[in-house]
Chain A
Amino acid sequence: MISCSEAVRQLWEYIEEGLDPRDRGRVDEHLAFCRTCCGEMEFARELRSFLADRPPAYLPPELENRFNRFLTDLDSKEAR
Chain B
Amino acid sequence: MAVTDERVRFQEVAREQLPWLFSLARRLAGEEAEDVVQECLTKAYRNFDDLRDTVAAPAWFRTILVNCARDRFRREASGIDETPLEDVSDYSLYRTIAEEDPWPYSDSVHVDFLQSFSEDDVWKVLDAIQPKYRVPLVLVHMEGIPTRDVSRMLGVPLNTVLSWLHRGRKQFEKELWQYADRSGLLRERKESST
A35 CA to B147 CA, complexed, in Å: 29
Residue A12 at the B interface, CB < 8 A?
Answer: yes
* Range for the number of chain B residues in contact with chain A: 35 or more
Residues A12 and B98 in contact, CB atoms below 8 Å apart: no
Residues B165 and A12 in contact, CB atoms below 8 Å apart: yes
| Contacts between the two chains (Cβ within 8 Å), count | 82
Residues of B within 8 A of A51 (CB): 137, 141-142, 172
Residues A59 and B22 in contact, CB atoms below 8 Å apart: yes
Residue A64 at the B interface, CB < 8 A?
Answer: yes
A64 CA to B119 CA, complexed, in Å: 19
Residue A55 at the B interface, CB < 8 A?
Answer: yes
Residues A58 and B15 in contact, CB atoms below 8 Å apart: no
Cross-chain contact of B22 among A36, A47, A57 (Cβ < 8 A): A57
Residues A54 and B114 in contact, CB atoms below 8 Å apart: no
| Majority secondary structure of chain B interface residues (helix, strand, loop or mixed) | helix
Which residue on chain A has the smallest CB distance to residue B11?
A71
Residues A75 and B7 in contact, CB atoms below 8 Å apart: yes
* Range for the number of chain A residues in contact with chain B: 20 to 34
| Majority secondary structure of chain A interface residues (helix, strand, loop or mixed) | helix
Which residues from chain B sit less than 8 Å from chain A, CB to CB?
1, 7, 10-11, 14-15, 18-20, 22-24, 34, 37-38, 41-42, 45-46, 89-90, 92-95, 98, 110-111, 114, 117, 119, 122, 137, 141-142, 144, 147, 162, 165-166, 169, 172-173
**Extra 15 A-B pairs, beta carbons < 8 Å, given A40-B92, A52-B144:** A8-B90, A9-B89, A12-B169, A18-B147, A44-B94, A47-B169, A52-B142, A54-B119, A54-B122, A57-B23, A59-B19, A67-B22, A70-B41, A71-B14, A75-B45
